[in-house]
Amino acid sequence: MKITRRTDYAIHLLADLSRQPEKPQGLRNLADKHKVTYAFARTVQQGLLKASLIKTSRGINGGIVLAKPLDQITLLEVFEGAQDPLEVTFENKGSSWCSCEGDTCFTDDLWLSSKKVLRDHFATITLGDLIDSH
The model's pLDDT over 73-117, given as tens digits with 9 standing for 90+, comes to 999 999 999 987 776 665 555 555 666 676 777 777 787 888 889
DSSP 99: -
* Whole-prediction pTM: 0.81
Q: Between these two residues, 26 and 61, which has the higher pLDDT value?
A: 26
Domain count, the chain: 1
75 and 53 Cβ atoms separated by less than 8 Å? no
Q: Judge whether residue 23 has pLDDT over 70.
A: yes
Strand ranges for 2-100 from DSSP E: 54-57, 63-66
Predicted pLDDT of residue 30: 94
Predicted pLDDT of residue 49: 96
What CATH code is carried by the domain that includes residue 59?
Answer: 1.10.10.10
> What φ, ψ does residue 67 adopt, rounded to 5°?
-85, -20
CA distance 66 to 54: 4
Show the DSSP H helices in the chain as ranges. 5-19, 27-33, 38-50, 75-82, 86-89, 108-124, 127-132
The model's pLDDT over 40-72, given as tens digits with 9 standing for 90+, comes to 999 999 999 999 999 999 888 889 999 999 999
CA dihedral (11, 16, 19, 20) in degrees, to 10, reads -120
Residues comprising the chain, all counted: 134
Average pLDDT over residues 19-43: 93
Predicted pLDDT of residue 112: 80
For residue 5, how many other CB atoms are within 10 A of its CB?
13
Domain carrying residue 124: 5-132
Predicted pLDDT of residue 10: 95
